Every structure is written in C-alpha cells, then in structure tokens.
Amino acid sequence: MQVRHPLLAAVTLAFALASLEAARAQAPEAALRLDLGSGVTMDLVLVKAGSFRQGSPATEPDRGDDEAQREVTLTKDFYIGRHEVTVAQFRRFVEATGYKTEAEKGTSGGFGWNGQALEQRSSFNWKNPGFPQTDDHPVTIVTFDDAVAFTRWLSGRASRAVSLPSEAQWEFAARASSTSAYPSGAAKATQAAALGWSKANAMGGTHPVGGKSPNGSGLFDMAGNVAEWCLDWYGPYEAGPVTDPLETRQNLSDKPRRVLRGGSWLREPKNGRSAARHRNAPGTRNADNGFRVVASTTSGPAAPAANPPASSKGGDEKQSPAGSSDPSTSRSLGFLALTLLAVAGGLVVAWRMIAWFLRTLVTRLFLGDTAAGVSTKISEDGFVLRAPKVPMGHRVHYRYVVDGKSQTGSTVLSGDMDLGQTVYTGGRPSSVQIFAVTAPGEALPAEKPRPARPSEERVAPSTDDSFRGYPSAYR
C-alpha cells in the first residue's frame, strides 16, 4: 500500500507512541515499597478502583445481622499493605519519633495474654503482648489513635497520603473480585485454616505475617492473625448504592466504637469471613488488635520552586526586545512591588500578633485557670478530653482522684479533638479537674484549684451480647 502522506503518518505514529509512553508513566506500579529507614521497608499492593457488593447474602453461614448487602463504588485506585504492620515497622516509627502508645502512657497497661485469656497488666504493651513475638509478627496492643499516629508519620516519611483503610476499601481488597465467604475464594469455615491464624490453629498468639495463603491480590492474613483497625465508626450500613463510603458518625452504636476487620488469632474462623464486622472502643488495647495501611497512588512532595527568569547578561543592555519596558522603569516597578509586599507582610505579622494577644487575653479573663472549653468524660480506667476550640499542640494540665489518691498530670493535644483524646489512669476516677491550658513553650501559671467534685456520670450497662464469652476488653 502506498503511503500518500509519509510525513503526516510519521508525525501521527510519533504522537501515538508519545501518548502511550505518557500513559505508562502516569499509571501506578502494581506494587510499592516504602522505605521506613534503618533498613526497614513496607510492601504495598495496588488495588484498582471498581464496584462490588459489600456485605453477605442471607444464605451465607455464620453471617451477622449487620452485614446487609449494598452496592459500593470506589472511584480511586489505592495501595494497601501486603501484610499487617509488623513489630519491626512499628519499632522504627517509635525510634524515629519517641512515640509512646496509650498502653505505655498510663499505669494500667494493655490487655495481654496470660495463657488462658486477655488480662490487663501494666507490663503488657506492644513490646510484650504476653506471648513470644519476633520482628515479623504483627504489632498488637495498639489503639486506634496509636495506629493513626503511625500513618501520619509514614505519610511524611513516604511523601504521600497514608491512612488506615476505610471499611469498604478493606473488604474490596480482601475479596479481590471474589464473592465467596472468605478472602481467597474459600466458601466454608473448614477451609479458613489455610487462610489465616484463628482460635482453631493459632495456639495462643500471633504468628509471623505471610505464613498463610494470600488472597487473589497477593494480600496476606486477611482472614486472621490480628483484627485490623479501619477508619469508620461502627454502625448500620447506609441503604442503597454508595460511592466511596466512610462512616463518620460515632453515635450509631450503643457507645462509640471503631470498626475492625479480618478476624484474629483469638476468635473463631468464621470471624475471618470477608463480610464479617467487628468493633471496639477506639481506646481498646488488646493483644489481638493490629492494623494495615493504605496509601495514595500519587506522591506529594513539596512543589519545586518556580524557574527564575532568564538572565540578561551577555546581551546589549541598551537594547530592549520589542514591546518591553525601559529597564529603569522595570526597576522602579520592582522596587514598588517589593515595598508593597513588605508592607503586606508586616501587616500579616502584626495581625497574627494581635490575634495571639487577644486569644491569650480572652483565655485569661474568661476561661481562667479552670480552662473552660476543655470538657472531660470519665471512663472505667481514665477519662476523655474534648477541646475542639483549643489549638493542637497546647498542653492540658489536670488533676484526678482514683481510689482516694489525687494525682496531677498533663498531655499535649493532638489529633481530632472533636472526637477526644484519652488519658488512662489505671482505674475509674472519682473526679477530674482541668486547671490550666498552656501554649507551646508557655510556663504553667500559678494554680488556683477549685474544689473537686465527684462526677455525676454513670455508665449504662451494655445490652450488646455479640461479644459474650470474650474478655471484658471487648466491651
């Protein structure tokens, strides 16, 4: 065949090849390895956007009443951890940041394994869950906030958005296009032993990640080892088709609980079904709770500085290109622009100083040392601070009474203070008093304590019997 326009054909072919190469360059890799430093890495697997049916059919054995099916569409590709976060990876985070888990901060510790059941001891934390573990075991005795702290650190380390998975992302990744009851296409609980570590085969503890069969996407331990924290608050599914769902309401359960997925070494094999849902209070620190992460497919480093204009050196400075202004005029306009920028910058700095002064003045005049605006809610072994109007990084100073003994302490506000920040005291406080809030670097003012008064709170008995037979840490 004779080509009538060879030049046009060549240009078209070159354009097509360039477009194909650009598409390949933009397409995310099927796997991602993140460098955590000190020789520690984390492998993630790409999950392409798509639609699936979340939940379980009414005919599925062992299904729960909270697994009503719905059509879900996820509009963005994402990476998800090939394995649960390991002890080595969490240790790297702790070494890099000096972070202390919630089980380490108080005097009560976490719920570890005593050989028969989960038991709370001051010595139990992520480094000592009550059973032997190596660097390759999944990290446990981490609360929801502990897991979120890890993801925030990893986001900065990896220069891309990293978080816990939503409940929909987790199930979509676990199913890997399968509609069977279990992640790897297995339909019966008797087949679950090949998929994960459960009460039936774990023999009282976690096992190194990756020791069982992967699912269709190459993900390990999606049906056991540790239950994995998700971003959602627990509640009934929203009816009808949904897109990128995330439950942000915390009042849909008997008390606020976060979702966990994937079964665990402490629970029956049926809890490793793809649709099985679990929930715990966000401050729960059990030896069968862990997490894995999801990450954005695009990295987000700081934008590079704009290229400077081309230098005029080497040319004839007395001659200007057509349409350009006189150099002296340009210099005058430039000086004027810099002057205006300096004035504007000065006004911004002055306004910030005025705002800081007014905020401090209002705090001293109207809030005083009682630090109104910081509320507390007493729980069985501590209390929750809520301070939605206090800036992050400020320190809250408090006094509490447990078993007739008064103790003082302080904590730096971090995270979402609309949801609250937990302070563990090792027992139920009879009273909690907030006596000061200080800004970063600000000295503690002279204290003017108010008389402590017993809290009028009462914890209503739970009517939820879905955890009957399990340790009280699940309630």
pLDDT value at residue 14 = 54
| pTM (two decimals) | 0.63
pLDDT value at residue 203 = 95
pLDDT value at residue 465 = 42
Q: Cα separation of 370 and 361, whole Å?
A: 15
**pLDDT tens for each residue of 417-444:** 555 777 767 678 899 999 888 876 677 7
- Model confidence band, residue 390 (pLDDT cutoffs 50, 70, 90): confident
Of 211 and 453, the one with more pLDDT: 211
pLDDT at 446 over 70: no
pLDDT value at residue 276 = 97
- Model confidence band, residue 194 (pLDDT cutoffs 50, 70, 90): confident
CB 149 within 8 A of CB 99: yes
**pLDDT tens for each residue of 131-165:** 999 999 999 999 999 999 999 999 999 999 999 99
Cβ of 241: how many Cβ atoms within 10 Å? Answer: 11
Q: Cα separation of 417 and 411, whole Å?
A: 13
CB 419 within 8 A of CB 387: no
pLDDT value at residue 382 = 80
Mean pLDDT score of the chain, rounded to an integer?
Answer: 79
Helices (H) and strands (E) in the chain, counts: 6, 20
pLDDT value at residue 267 = 95
pLDDT at 191 over 90: no
pLDDT value at residue 459 = 34
- Model confidence band, residue 55 (pLDDT cutoffs 50, 70, 90): very high
**pLDDT tens for each residue of 258-314:** 999 999 999 999 999 999 999 999 999 999 999 999 999 998 643 333 333 333 333
- Model confidence band, residue 445 (pLDDT cutoffs 50, 70, 90): low
Which residues have C-beta within 8 Å of that of residue 289, sequence separation ≥ 6? Answer: 140, 141, 142, 226, 227, 228, 229, 260, 264, 280
pLDDT at 219 over 60: yes
DSSP class of 286: B
Q: Cα separation of 318 and 24, whole Å?
A: 49
Which residues have C-beta within 8 Å of that of residue 408, sequence separation ≥ 6? Answer: 397, 398, 399
Of 364 and 146, the one with more pLDDT: 146
CB 237 within 8 A of CB 64: no
pLDDT value at residue 5 = 57
Query: What residue ranges do the domains of the chain occupy?
Result: 25-295, 368-470
**pLDDT tens for each residue of 99-108:** 999 999 988 9
Class of domain 25-295: alpha beta
Cβ of 9: how many Cβ atoms within 10 Å? Answer: 11
